[in-house]
């Protein structure tokens, strides 16, 4: 069932809440196999599965990025119906009004994508809080690809005393390792081929860290390599603690490598957990 209206949504949710657990998957649409892996996982349990499709204008700091974001609603609805999603929520136009209250998550939103995407995570946190209050899901399923977003959502859940459990599922990749993303379709074939260097670099850095520890020069080496391959900008290539994105200390554990780079004006992101214990840090990595 497709729901576009808040009053109807509330009624349905009130009714379902007594009968079944609610599992929620927020999306921007232009669905691909990454999104589907979340839906398939949700459907395995006997939950009531809610998927939202909403290109949240608040999380696009550039109008051009918002306008060029791929919009494929008809196809998305077909996919979700085929996958027997119980409720598809398409928020009404006034979901984002001009006098909207804004939620800002401190610290975590000041790192990585928060540095050059002003207001992006405020946009994410605000809309997620609205969704969670309305849908009251027992679970929310998120993809590991958007790791910083997961931390933001966890913080909102904690700070606003919500009881939704966060389930994180692995990143689904193309054959060459590039993380599936709605933005991938905006790249020319040529650029698309080059883009696999992001995941290759993450894997190599991870191996090097496991073997020899972190050497800041090597991070610079990979940044230059990515630029030489055809990316116009590396927004960041950083190794941080995955608990809170803080800088690694002397004996790092639970670290993750984060990357963002632009190709033909398209921003790609990815990250990889460093699986085995890593060596002593020799400097600040960025």
Q: Give me the residues that bind ligand AMP (CB under 6 A), please.
A: 27-28, 34-35, 37-38, 142-143, 145-146, 171-172, 179-182
Q: What is the DSSP letter of 107?
A: T
35 given a catalytic annotation: yes
Residue nearest to ligand AMP (CB): 143
What is the distance between the alpha carbons of residues 60 and 47, in angstroms, rounded to a whole number? 32
Q: Closest approach of Cβ 248 to ligand AMP, in Å?
A: 24
- Sheet strands (E) in the chain: 2-3, 22-27, 48-53, 87-89, 139-143, 165-169, 233-241, 255-263, 266-273
Q: Name the token pair of 4.
A: 């576009």
Q: Closest approach of Cβ 27 to ligand AMP, in Å?
A: 4
Q: Name the token pair of 204.
A: 């190599």
On whether the CB atoms of residues 121 and 149 are closer than 8 A, the answer is yes
Q: Which is nearer to ligand AMP, 17 or 72 (CB)?
A: 72
Across the strands, what pairs with 22?
Answer: 48
Q: Which is nearer to ligand AMP, 103 or 142 (CB)?
A: 142
Q: Which is nearer to ligand AMP, 137 or 143 (CB)?
A: 143
Residues 233, 237, 243, 247, CA torsion sign: negative
Q: Name the catalytic one among 9, 26, 30, 35.
A: 35
CA distances from 240 to 108, 116, 197, 249 (A): 11, 18, 21, 9
Q: Closest approach of Cβ 199 to ligand AMP, in Å?
A: 11
Nearest to 113 by CA among 149, 65, 142: 149
Q: Which is nearer to ligand AMP, 36 or 194 (CB)?
A: 36
Q: Closest approach of Cβ 120 to ligand AMP, in Å?
A: 12
Catalytic residue numbers?
35
């Amino acid at each position: 069932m497709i729901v576009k209206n808040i009053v109807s949504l509330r009624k349905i949710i009130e009714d379902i809440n007594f009968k079944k657990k609610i599992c929620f998957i927020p999306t921007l649409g232009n669905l691909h196999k990454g999104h589907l892996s979340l839906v398939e996982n949700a459907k395995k349990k006997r939950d009531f599965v809610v998927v939202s499709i909403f290109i949240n204008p608040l999380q696009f700091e550039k109008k051009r990025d918002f306008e060029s974001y791929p919009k494929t609603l008809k196809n998305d609805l077909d996919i979700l119906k085929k996958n027997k999603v119980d409720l598809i929520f398409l928020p009404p136009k006034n979901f984002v009004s001009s006098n909207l209250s804004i939620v800002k998550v401190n610290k975590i939103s000041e790192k990585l994508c928060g540095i050059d995407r002003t207001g992006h995570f405020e946009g994410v946190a605000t809309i997620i809080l609205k969704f969670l209050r309305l849908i009251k899901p027992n679970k929310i399923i998120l993809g590991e690809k958007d790791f910083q977003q997961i931390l933001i959502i966890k913080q909102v859940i904690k700070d606003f005393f919500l009881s939704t459990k966060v389930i994180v599922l692995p990143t689904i990749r193309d054959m060459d390792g590039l993380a599936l993303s709605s933005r991938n379709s905006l790249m020319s074939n040529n650029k698309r081929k080059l883009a696999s260097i992001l995941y290759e670099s993450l894997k190599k850095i991870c191996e090097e860290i496991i073997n020899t520890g972190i050497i800041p020069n090597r991070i610079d080496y990979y940044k230059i390599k990515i630029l030489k391959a055809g990316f116009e900008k590396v927004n960041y290539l950083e190794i941080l603690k995955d608990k809170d994105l803080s800088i690694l200390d002397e004996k790092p554990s639970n670290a993750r490598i984060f990357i963002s780079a632009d190709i033909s004006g398209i921003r790609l992101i990815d990250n990889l957990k460093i699986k085995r214990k890593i060596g002593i840090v020799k400097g600040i990595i960025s």
